[in-house]
Amino acid sequence: MRKTFLTLIVMVLASAGVMAQAQFGARAGFNVTTVSQDTDFGDAEEPWRPGFNIGLASQFRMSEIFAIAPELIYTQQGYLVEYATGGERNVRFDYLKLPVLFRLTFGDILKGYINAGPSLGYFLGGKFREEGRLNLDPIDEKIVFGVEGDEEWDLDANRLELGLGFGGGIMLDTEAGSFLIDLRYTRGFTDAANFEDGETEAYKNQAVMVSLTFLVPSVREYDY
């Protein structure tokens, strides 16, 4: 499935680069994230965890209303648990993600748009912090893969994540370039991680992302 997904991405990008009006730029923004899981934390609250995203963006305009928009971004995922005792668990997952969005735009200079598409994520690592829970000692450890130590937390995680994102925003086209304000919901299809302590089962990432993107003027101009 992953090989098929990568093959489709390569084919889409290759065809887009040949046929399209191309723009490239950067994006940065704010996340709130959580995970879907079967864990029961009792009376604890589970608010969404804040984080950020930053990376490269592009847009290949295939027509006046349709574009393909691949990105390469670093994003912070994870979750929060606030215990009734006053302590909390704060888990951060660091991902490098490659979403490929299919975008429909409407309007003239100030445009609205909607987009959706698949993404491939690579799990880089992260941080696990927990304190104030019953009589347990505080934990503040890096999340690593296949290594156990006093300051490192071995996580049974999947390196690759297949997911989907969808949302929309507004786009302003100017002579200096295109400015986009984007709101997006993303969800992983594959399990992010498993824990062997009998408490937490496999779970999937979820995120709501708000970002600002700037794309330089197109290197090609077409009359559609």
Give per-residue pLDDT as tens, 148-168.
555 555 566 788 999 999 999
The span from the CA of 57 to the CA of 73, in Å, is 8
Residue 134 has pLDDT above 90, yes or no: no
DSSP 199: S
CA–CA distances in Å: residue 158 to residues 77, 125, 190, 203, 208: 14, 11, 8, 11, 21
The span from the CA of 135 to the CA of 26, in Å, is 46
Q: Which residues of 166-197 are buried (b: 16+ CB within 10 A; e: fewer)?
A: ebbbebebeeebbbbebebebebeebbbeeee
pLDDT, tens digit, 9 for 90 and up, residues 49-80: 999 999 999 999 999 899 999 999 999 999 99
Q: In DSSP terms, which residues pair with 76 in a beta bridge?
A: 94
Q: Which domains does the chain have, with CATH numbers?
A: 41-215 (2.40.160)
Confidence of residue 214 (pLDDT cuts 50, 70, 90): very high
Where do we find the tokens 């690593």? 144
Q: Determine the 3-state secondary structure of 41 from DSSP.
A: coil
Contacts of 150 (CB under 8 A, 6+ apart): none
The span from the CA of 25 to the CA of 59, in Å, is 9
Structure tokens at 221: 């101009």
| Strand 110-131 relative to strand 160-173, pairing | antiparallel
pLDDT, tens digit, 9 for 90 and up, residues 13-40: 555 445 568 999 999 999 999 988 655 5
The span from the CA of 111 to the CA of 135, in Å, is 56
Q: Compare 117 and 193 and report the one with higher pLDDT.
A: 117
Confidence of residue 223 (pLDDT cuts 50, 70, 90): very low
